[in-house]
Structures are given as structure tokens and as C-alpha cells.
């Protein structure tokens, strides 16, 4: 939320993957995820930098080196507010670096929630 790209990237292992959302989307047409820091940095520039994000998680489940959050991410971008409801998971390695960030939300449902600000 601080829009500090380098600080955000520093949380990831070099071989991490970001799938947000999981599967094909306008961010990732082939649905393979953004793998490695260079691809994750490009995802940041496309999806995070131009937006203001608010995380509203209703429930969090922590198991071992993984966490799953149930709730929503509210996105303000290009004069619109969009809500992505879903499950958002994070997995870290032994050094505490993220190796997987996966967001399970439906693109069509999020798009249908769009409202002009």
C-alpha cells in the first residue's frame, strides 16, 4: 500500500511466482504466473503502481509456511473502484521470503463490481 516498489520486491525470493489472479487474465494472458523478480517487477508496474489498494480480509488461516486470507481487495484505478473478492495465499521459504503469492478471484465478478468514482 506504500507504493514502495523496491521494498515490495525485497519480500520475494529470486525464483518466486505471483499469480494474481490464478489462471489467464489481462495481466497474464497465458495463465502461467509472473516468475522471477523481473517478471514480478513488471507485474508491479502494470497492476499495482497505477492503483490504490485496500485489503479487507475477514479470515486468515496460517499453516506452516503458508497463509490464506479470505476477503477482498478494493482497487481504485483510472477513476473507478473495483472489488476483487476471493482467497489470497502466500507461501514463504526458510528465509522468510515469499516464494508464492496466489490470488483466487474471478475477473468477471470483479469487473461487474466496477463503479465510477
**Domain parsing of the chain, residue ranges:** 5-116
Band of residue 2 on the pLDDT scale cut at 50, 70, 90: confident
Strand 52-63 with 12-19, pairing: unpaired
Structure confidence by residue, pLDDT tens digits, 6-17: 999 999 999 999
pLDDT at 3: 87
**CATH classification for the domain delimited by 5-116, as one of 3.10.450.50, 3.30.420.10, 3.40.50.150, 1.20.58.2240:** 3.10.450.50
Distance (Å, whole) CA 83 – CA 107: 10
Residue 49 has pLDDT above 90, yes or no: yes
Band of residue 38 on the pLDDT scale cut at 50, 70, 90: very high
Residue 1 has pLDDT above 80, yes or no: no
CA triple 57-59-65, angle to 5 deg: 100
Residues, the chain = 117
Amino acid at each position: 500500500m506504500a507504493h514502495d516498489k523496491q521494498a515490495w520486491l525485497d519480500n520475494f525470493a529470486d525464483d518466486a511466482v505471483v499469480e494474481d489472479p490464478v489462471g489467464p487474465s489481462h495481466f497474464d494472458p497465458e495463465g502461467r504466473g509472473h516468475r522471477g523478480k523481473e517478471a514480478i517487477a513488471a507485474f508491479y508496474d502494470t497492476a499495482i503502481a497505477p492503483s490504490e489498494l485496500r485489503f479487507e480480509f475477514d479470515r486468515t488461516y496460517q499453516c506452516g509456511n503458508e497463509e490464506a486470507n479470505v476477503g477482498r481487495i478494493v482497487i481504485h484505478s483510472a477513476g473507478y473502484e473495483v472489488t476483487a473478492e476471493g482467497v489470497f495465499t502466500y507461501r514463504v521459504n526458510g528465509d522468510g521470503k515469499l516464494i508464492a503469492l496466489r490470488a483466487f478471484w474471478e475477473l468477471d465478478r470483479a469487473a461487474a463490481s466496477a463503479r465510477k468514482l
